[in-house]
């Protein structure tokens, strides 16, 4: 997926091709993190939430004739279906670019800043290289919901999208003697929410952000209620047409105690949601998910690998009590609070929990400086581990300053070209051929002087002289 960004902070012009593993490198203050977070704001749930609400209120530039016709048909006949493949073929690029056009209006809130100006920021997406993948992801999507409404009898709006099918179906089912019409605004919101969500998640099924603040927030005890209210089980008898369907989700229990004066930035809130959702999901629930979808078992296995071979200890939540906290267990008899563990454990604990309890294929992990607080040997190991995540079906975008990550990534791409990969694995830190990543899955961009440069050449070498220049400088201080 090709992206252009103009006038984002110090970035004057950015052109990148998002691959399964994308690396942003450069000196401090060159815009790497802002670029990563801007992409997260558009491609993640924040962009989806803001966009469909804007559309229902008539505030977007793009209009979708198919959706407007479907709403009219439903109001007349009580049922309708939309061919999502045709919809995506016609509108996918227009949709994501319209979301991008809305992004300057929310970036201040997303980054929790009052002093930065995003009015002149422009972003555009070219989907030519990923269009087929988007259509395939829509095909794989499944959904079945029943939403009750009406005070007499039992009336339901049934929403169905089956795996392998092109169509999403909306129809009213009545189990009583009186069939009540669904509130018009409610139906419009539900249809827009489901159609836009399926399209939006066909780019990345979910986006997780691991900001540099993770080493601080991982140490905080928190209070979470595990009782979650499911939207599909809510009764809309008293639904007010001025209400917003998404606002109903806010009645889900508060997960973390936070100061009300100023909310953390969205990247920090994304981290908080990772920890909260991981706690809520529980081991038993995750095992049930694995029984239904065996392909996600690999992520729990990767979490265990990260613990054993890099962290050398186990990460998990304590037993339920008044407060919940995350503990590190380096041995059978020792459990440590996050406040006193090594900085490396704090750094990687959120990733362990995300993989064990939440991760699914085609999700995007955005990790700001994965090398932060890691010894060079651990930086090499985490490079191999990130490549393994990509090989297991996740997408990864990192920002980095690490020469170790760059140099070793070149090694992994070269190793992927060897026929006898088994003969090479013992030379690598994790000794896994799954870490050998094909070059076509990787892109590396240098942020410098307000622009980006593709520095991964055809031979798989990454040409970046910044660290080499520094090493050369300090070696000549004293002759």
pLDDT digits (tens, 9 = 90+) for 348-382: 999 999 999 999 999 999 999 999 999 999 999 99
Distance CA 309, CA 313 (A): 9
Confidence band of 422 (pLDDT split at 50, 70, 90): very high
Task: Determine contact, residues 455/463, Cβ cutoff 8 Å.
Answer: yes
The four Cα atoms 381, 386, 388, 394 give a dihedral, to 10 degrees, of 170
Position 249 pLDDT exceeds 80: no
Position 415 pLDDT exceeds 60: yes
Position 414 pLDDT exceeds 50: yes
For 126, half-sphere exposure in the C-beta direction (CA atoms, 13 angstrom radius) is: 9
pLDDT at 237: 40
pLDDT at 234: 38
The four Cα atoms 297, 301, 302, 307 give a dihedral, to 10 degrees, of 150
Position 240 pLDDT exceeds 60: no
Confidence band of 465 (pLDDT split at 50, 70, 90): low
Higher pLDDT: 236 or 141? It is 141
Q: What six digits make up the tokens of 219?
A: 């140490």
pLDDT at 276: 86
pLDDT at 58: 87
Supply the mean pLDDT for the chain.
87
Distance CA 430, CA 410 (A): 16
Structure confidence by residue, pLDDT tens digits, 121-174: 999 999 999 999 999 999 999 999 988 876 655 778 899 999 999 999 999 887
> How many residues are present in the chain?
479
The answer to which of 31-45, 50-64, 390-404 has the lowest mean pLDDT is 50-64
Structure confidence by residue, pLDDT tens digits, 305-341: 999 999 999 998 886 655 678 899 999 899 999 999 9
pLDDT at 252: 31
H helix or E strand, kind and range, residue 260: none
Task: Determine contact, residues 9/34, Cβ cutoff 8 Å.
Answer: yes
Position 254 pLDDT exceeds 60: no
Instruction: Tell me if the pTM is above 0.85.
Output: yes
Average pLDDT on 450-461 reads 90
Confidence band of 475 (pLDDT split at 50, 70, 90): low
Position 8 pLDDT exceeds 60: yes
Average pLDDT on 185-194 reads 89
Q: Which of 52-66, 207-221, 245-259, 420-434 has the highest mean pLDDT?
A: 420-434
pLDDT at 180: 64
């Amino acid at each position: 997926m090709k992206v252009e960004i103009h006038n984002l902070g110090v970035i004057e012009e950015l052109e990148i091709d998002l691959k399964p593993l994308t690396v942003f490198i450069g000196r401090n203050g060159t815009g790497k993190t802002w670029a990563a977070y801007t992409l997260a704001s558009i491609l993640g749930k924040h962009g989806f939430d803001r966009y469909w609400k804007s559309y229902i209120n008539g505030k977007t530039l793009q209009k979708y004739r198919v959706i407007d016709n479907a709403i009219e048909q439903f109001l007349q006949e009580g049922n309708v279906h939309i061919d999502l493949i045709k919809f995506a073929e016609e509108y996918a690029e227009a949709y994501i670019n319209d979301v991008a056009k809305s992004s300057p209006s929310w970036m201040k809130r997303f980054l929790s800043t009052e002093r930065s100006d995003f009015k002149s920021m422009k972003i555009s997406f070219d989907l030519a290289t990923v269009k087929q993948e988007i259509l395939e992801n829509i095909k794989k999507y499944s959904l079945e919901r029943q939403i009750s409404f009406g005070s007499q009898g039992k009336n339901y709006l049934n929403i169905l999208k089956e795996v392998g099918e092109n169509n999403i179906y909306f129809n009213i089912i009545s189990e009583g003697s009186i069939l009540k019409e669904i509130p018009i605004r409610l139906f419009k919101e539900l249809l827009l929410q489901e159609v836009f969500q399926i399209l939006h998640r066909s780019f990345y099924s979910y986006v997780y952000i691991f900001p540099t603040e993770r080493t601080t927030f991982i140490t905080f005890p928190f209070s979470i209620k595990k009782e979650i209210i499911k939207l599909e089980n809510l009764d809309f008898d008293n639904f007010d047409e001025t209400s917003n369907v998404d606002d109903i989700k806010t009645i889900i229990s508060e997960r973390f105690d936070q100061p009300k004066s100023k909310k953390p930035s969205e990247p920090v809130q994304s981290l908080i949601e990772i920890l909260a959702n991981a706690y809520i999901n529980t081991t038993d629930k995750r095992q049930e998910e694995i029984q239904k979808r065996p392909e996600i078992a690999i992520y729990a296995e990767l979490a265990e690998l990260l613990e054993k071979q890099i962290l050398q200890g186990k990460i998990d939540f304590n037993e339920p009590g008044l407060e919940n906290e995350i503990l590190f267990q380096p041995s059978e008899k020792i459990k440590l609070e996050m406040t006193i563990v090594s900085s490396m454990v704090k750094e990687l604990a959120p990733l362990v929990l995300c993989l064990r309890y939440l991760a699914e294929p085609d999700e995007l992990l955005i990790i700001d400086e994965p090398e932060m607080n890691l010894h060079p040997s651990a930086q090499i190991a985490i490079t191999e581990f990130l490549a393994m995540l990509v090989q297991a079906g996740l997408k990864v975008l990192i920002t980095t300053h690490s020469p170790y990550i760059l140099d070793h990534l070149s090694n992994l791409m070269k190793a992927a070209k060897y026929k006898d990969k088994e003969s090479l694995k013992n030379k690598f830190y994790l000794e896994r051929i799954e870490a050998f990543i094909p070059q076509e899955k990787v892109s590396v961009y240098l942020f410098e002087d307000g622009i980006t440069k593709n520095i991964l050449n055809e031979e798989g070498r990454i040409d970046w002289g910044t660290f080499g220049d520094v090493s050369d400088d300090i070696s000549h201080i004293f002759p």
